[in-house]
Amino acid sequence: MTNKYIYFVANWKMFGDIKSLNSVNKVIKFSKLYNKFKFKLIYCPPYTLLSSFAKKIQNSYIYLGAQNCHHIPDDGPYTGSISSRMLKNIGVSYVMIGHSENRSEGDTDIMINKKIKSCIKNNLKIIFCIGETLSQKKRGLTHKTLKNQILKGLKGIRKINNVFFAYEPIWSIGTGIIPKSSKLEKDIKYLKLFINKQFKNSNIKILYGGSVNSNNIKSLKNINNIDGFLVGGASQNTKKFIDIVKKTFN
Ligand code: PGA
């Protein structure tokens, strides 16, 4: 690993209640103790916990992220929805957009594009999730799929300074299966070159997500050019999450 910051995103998905907030104390302590290492921890709890989290992580090295937002940037008559403005207002600084679990619930590329624009408007950082299905992978369509998702999701956007990419092969999410290191390294290199060429930005951050755990992190951390990890299941267990961070640096 190089001398740059490594990002660790904890995606709690639809898990967590008031009690689980206490588990974060250990992570806050850890982040202070280990701040000689260059990492950034971003917690993305469900909407219901965002406010409490925001209070809890004040004066810590942890940042707050949301798992999604509505595509209209300001308030409006959209029952059950939450705007990026509202997220910004309570102290959120990152928003995950385009997670495959949201894509499968109906988030289209057009909506994803609007959501990203709404986050940019509200000065939020975006964790833009992309990834191919198993069938696309088997048909050799991985790069084509990723290119398509990127071009459609970022249509009309010129400055991508606030966009972090999370490459999450769908066949790897929650399955315990991760890509071969050599393949993952090639794909990340391909993505960086492609995005750099399209957006004339050489400072692109790509995180990997999909079954990251405290065992496979030892090989994942050696992938060249990787900027961090999006951790789902393992992030709900404080010890496992801390272990992932520690093992990245040891
Ligand atoms: P997982 O989830 O780590 O449980 O595979 C990753 C994700 O969905 O972001």
Digit-by-digit pLDDT tens for the chain (250 residues) are 557 899 999 999 999 999 999 999 999 999 999 988 899 999 999 999 999 999 999 988 899 999 999 999 889 999 999 999 999 999 999 999 999 999 999 999 999 999 999 999 999 999 999 999 999 999 999 999 999 999 999 999 999 999 999 999 999 999 999 999 999 999 999 999 999 999 998 899 999 999 999 999 999 999 999 999 999 999 999 999 999 999 999 8
| Beta bridge mates, 230 | 9, 209
The domain 6-249 having CATH identifier 3.20.20.70: the answer here is: yes
Beta carbon of 173 within 6 Å of any ligand 1 atom: yes
- Nearest-CA neighbor of 170 among 191, 154, 149? 149
Separation of CA 173 and ligand 1 centre (Å) = 5
2, 211, 214, 240, 247 from 37: Cα distances, Å: 11, 23, 17, 18, 11
Domain residues of the chain, as ranges? 6-249
- Count CB neighbours of 122 within 10 A: 19
Residues 143 and 13: their CA atoms lie apart, in Å, by: 27
Quote the ligand 1 centre to 72 CA distance (angstroms): 27
The answer, yes or no, to whether any atom of ligand 1 lies below 6 A from the CB of 168, is yes
Q: Tell me the CA end-to-end span of the chain in Å, nearest whole number.
A: 10
Q: Check if 70 is active-site.
A: no
User: For residues 108 and 99, what is the distance between their CA atoms, to the nearest angstrom?
Assistant: 11
For β-strands 62-66 and 39-44, DSSP reports them as: parallel
CB-side neighbour CA atoms (13 Å) of 38: 8
Report CA Rg, the chain: 17
Q: How much is the pTM? A: 0.97
- Tokens 């390294």 locate to 185
Relative orientation angle of helices 24-33 and 238-249, to the nearest 10 degrees = 20
